[in-house]
């Protein structure tokens, strides 16, 4: 080893030891006859000391060291005169006797410190320098710890980690696949998995009983800030279980992770139906760190001559505790917020429940004191509260109000990143109508689309609706939501071949198409498929949640940008004619 110790471990107990450290020059300071270099490695920072009186040559050598030079220093551990209580090694320094420059460095494009205001583009291009920053490295250390703890928890419960293939088959019913031309099978393509869904179900047919895998998945979709073309799942499946068994098992995993990684005792996770989540929060992933549930006042608000409410399908609102003192300017900001195109409300009605008990609304012209008291009762408002109301078509209004609720939660400081509130959302709809989702192939528009995926089991009590009212069928499907973030989801699967065939039919597959794409699964179901179900966690997102960040990119070592490019290696890139020819493809781009 080119060191005897790391830069993070020497303390007052090591005084007089001769040690060798290796690392990067964080900073050097010349103070008259003394020169100090902060030597940094993954484990910490240790101060190297040089003195003109001790050794002039060595001191000169130290003064020539630039930022980010790679150094090896041998010397004696001595007690510091001015100690640094903020650094675990701050009581000591190294009186250097041998200094070796292992490698030089040109000046980096940004300083390697916790806070740096350089652009994301530069940080992605020089990701290997960005990763030198403590804050970024700690994110990846957290990720490592999360993975280890996940595996050890599941291993104890007899789950087997099984690697499923990455080169699989394109099944274009879902989001777009990345495909891989085959050289050995000309004119044919592999696809990269969007998830190991069918393989984990086959492992259940194979009797593997309990499977998991921390696995890369791929989706060729238009990217948003929190999406990446390749992402990682904790993918799990169990046999001979009912929904409650799966929820209990994986609630256990999440509680274990909170305890082991963050030393947080997570309370039992409540369940809420999808219908309730939409009614109370207008959102299938409600942030339950704060209450502020929706209240529908459609009945009491209508018929008083206010045309906006009279013409609305729904009149719904929230009660923001303690916000009655909001200024006109703040209320205008909220109105502007809900009127933004991506939210799309036409206006915002409010009522202040003043500290003197009176209630004043922005529509006093139409509603008298008694009317407003009825509102107050409906919202359970108290003096000091602010009632905010939207009206219009139900679904659209719920969505807009959900955004307003989250905004108010943020403004009122109710969304602390170190507070965690988890929720199981259950009984999702089985299907949704595809009006032309840009993340699906255009040829799939105007069809029913599986909300979770085509292997999700309908609720037995809703089976009859499959023929008459498919949109009303509920699934044995569930999501785990923490702080308004969907961190995982899954379902009980269909294990009966005829129901699976019925499902493919409903999704617009001909028998031939279903057989061609999923014949292997339906055939497998002929040979004794056990009842089974499972779920998958978005591992990048789970890590970012634990790390208190909104961005999954911060928790991926080498992320891609919003155009799917790796800025560091400059990929994707052109390939040679020789390669294209061997793969029997032509590029249509000149």
Q: Segment contacting its own copies (CB under 8 A): 20-28, 56-64, 350-358, 404-412? A: 20-28
In the window 208-227, what residues touch its own copies (CB under 8 A)?
A: 208-209, 216, 218, 220, 222-223
Site string for its own copies, 85-124 (x = CB under 8 A): -----------------xxxxx-x----------------
The DSSP code for 462 is: G
Q: Segment contacting its own copies (CB under 8 A): 116-124, 239-247, 405-413, 475-483? A: 239-247
CB of 12 or CB of 64, closer to its own copies: 64
Residues 6 or more apart whose CB falls under 8 angstroms from that of 574 comprise none
Min dist. Cβ of residue 73 to its own copies (A): 12
With contact defined as beta carbons under 8 Å apart, do 525 and 496 qualify?
yes
Judged by CB under 8 A, which of 128, 333, 336, 505 binds its own copies? Answer: 128
> Is the backbone peptide bond immediately before 572 cis, with ω within 30 degrees of 0?
yes
Binding of residue 43 to its own copies (CB under 8 A): yes
d(CA 544, CA 552): 5
**Neighbouring-strand partners of residue 386:** 320, 352
In the window 133-192, what residues touch its own copies (CB under 8 A)?
A: 137, 140-141, 143-144, 147-148, 151-152, 155, 160-170, 172, 176-192
d(CA 265, CA 335): 39
The DSSP code for 266 is: P
Min dist. Cβ of residue 557 to its own copies (A): 5
Task: Identify the three-state secondary structure at position 130.
Answer: helix
Q: Segment contacting its own copies (CB under 8 A): 49-57, 364-372, 419-427, 512-520? A: 512-520
Min dist. Cβ of residue 187 to its own copies (A): 3
Residues 6 or more apart whose CB falls under 8 angstroms from that of 224 comprise 562
Largest CA distance in the chain: 93
CB of 98 or CB of 167, closer to its own copies: 167
Binding of residue 526 to its own copies (CB under 8 A): yes
Judged by CB under 8 A, which of 19, 96, 205, 334 binds its own copies? Answer: 205
Min dist. Cβ of residue 460 to its own copies (A): 14
d(CA 471, CA 475): 11
Residue ranges in 263-349 assigned as alpha helix (H): 274-281, 298-301, 307-310, 328-339
Q: Segment contacting its own copies (CB under 8 A): 238-246, 294-302, 392-400, 461-469? A: 238-246
Min dist. Cβ of residue 165 to its own copies (A): 5
**Helix axes 539-546 and 243-262, enclosed angle (nearest 10):** 40
CB of 114 or CB of 570, closer to its own copies: 570
Judged by CB under 8 A, which of 60, 113, 242, 369 binds its own copies? Answer: 242
Tokens 């399908």 map to which residue? 313
CB of 12 or CB of 585, closer to its own copies: 585
In the window 424-463, what residues touch its own copies (CB under 8 A)?
A: 441-443
> How many residues interact with its own copies (rule CB under 8 A)?
131
In the window 551-580, what residues touch its own copies (CB under 8 A)?
A: 556-558, 560, 563-566, 568-576, 578-579
Task: Identify the three-state secondary structure at position 532.
Answer: strand
Binding of residue 252 to its own copies (CB under 8 A): no
Binding of residue 240 to its own copies (CB under 8 A): yes
**Neighbouring-strand partners of residue 100:** 72
Judged by CB under 8 A, which of 5, 123, 127, 541 binds its own copies? Answer: 127
CA angle centred on 236, ends 256 and 448, rounded to 5°: 125
Residues 6 or more apart whose CB falls under 8 angstroms from that of 231 comprise 216, 217, 218, 219, 538, 539, 540, 552
CB of 175 or CB of 331, closer to its own copies: 175
**Helix axes 243-262 and 134-156, enclosed angle (nearest 10):** 140
- Report the chain's C-alpha Rg in angstroms: 30
């Amino acid at each position: 080893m080119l060191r005897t110790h790391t830069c993070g471990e020497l303390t007052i107990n090591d005084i007089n030891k001769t040690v060798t450290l290796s690392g990067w020059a964080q900073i050097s300071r010349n103070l008259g006859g003394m020169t100090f270099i902060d030597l940094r490695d993954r484990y910490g920072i240790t101060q190297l000391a040089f003195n003109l009186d001790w050794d002039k040559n060595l001191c000169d050598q130290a003064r020539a060291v630039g930022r980010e030079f790679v150094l090896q220093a041998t010397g004696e551990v001595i007690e510091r005169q001015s100690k640094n209580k903020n650094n675990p090694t701050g009581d000591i320094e190294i009186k250097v006797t041998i200094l070796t420059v292992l490698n030089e460095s040109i000046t980096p494009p940004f300083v390697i410190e916790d806070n740096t205001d350089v652009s994301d583009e530069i940080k992605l291009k020089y990701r290997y320098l960005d990763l030198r920053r403590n804050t970024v490295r700690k994110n990846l250390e957290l990720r490592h710890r999360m993975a280890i703890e996940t595996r050890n928890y599941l291993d104890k419960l007899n789950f087997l980690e099984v690697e499923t293939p990455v080169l699989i088959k394109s099944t274009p019913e879902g989001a777009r696949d990345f495909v891989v031309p085959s050289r050995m099978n000309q004119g044919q393509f592999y696809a990269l998995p969007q998830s190991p869904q069918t393989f984990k179900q086959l492992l259940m047919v194979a009797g593997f009983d309990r499977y998991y895998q921390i696995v890369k998945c791929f989706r060729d979709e238009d990217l948003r800030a929190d999406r990446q073309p390749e992402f990682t799942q904790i993918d799990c499946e169990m046999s001979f279980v009912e929904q409650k068994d799966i929820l209990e098992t994986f609630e256990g995993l999440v509680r274990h992770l909170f305890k082991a990684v963050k030393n947080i005792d997570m309370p039992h996770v409540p369940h809420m139906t999808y219908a309730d989540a939409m009614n109370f929060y207008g959102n299938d992933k409600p942030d339950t760190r704060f209450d502020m549930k929706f209240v529908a006042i459609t009945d009491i608000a209508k018929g008083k001559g206010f045309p906006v409410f009279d013409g609305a399908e729904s009149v719904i609102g929230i009660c923001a505790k303690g916000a009655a003192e909001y200024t006109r300017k703040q209320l205008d900001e909220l109105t502007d917020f809900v009127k933004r195109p991506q939210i799309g409300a036409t206006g915002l009605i409010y009522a202040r429940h003043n500290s003197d008990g009176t209630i004043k609304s922005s529509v006093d012209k139409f509603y008298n004191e008694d009317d407003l008291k009825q509102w107050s009762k409906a919202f359970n408002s108290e003096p000091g509260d602010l009632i905010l109301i939207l009206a219009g078509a139900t679904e659209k209004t719920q969505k807009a109000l959900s955004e307003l609720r989250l905004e108010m939660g943020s403004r009122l400081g109710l969304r602390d990143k170190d507070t965690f509130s988890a929720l199981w959302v259950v009984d999702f709809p089985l299907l949704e109508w595809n009006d032309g989702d840009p993340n699906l192939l255009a040829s799939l528009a105007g069809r029913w689309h599986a909300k979770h995926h085509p292997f999700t089991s309908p609720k037995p009590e809703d089976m009859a609706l499959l023929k008459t009212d498919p949109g009303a069928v509920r699934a044995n499907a569930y999501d785990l939501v923490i702080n308004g973030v969907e961190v995982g989801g899954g379902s009980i699967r269909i294990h009966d071949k005829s129901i699976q065939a019925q499902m493919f039919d409903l999704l617009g597959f001909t028998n031939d198409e279903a057989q061609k794409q999923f014949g292997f699964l339906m055939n497998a179901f002929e040979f004794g498929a056990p009842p089974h179900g499972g779920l998958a966690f978005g591992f990048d997102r789970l890590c970012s949640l634990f790390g208190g960040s909104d961005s999954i990119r911060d928790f991926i070592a080498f992320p891609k940008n919003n155009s799917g490019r790796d800025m560091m290696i400059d990929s994707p890139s052109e390939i040679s004619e020789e390669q294209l020819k061997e793969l029997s493809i032509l590029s249509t781009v000149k």
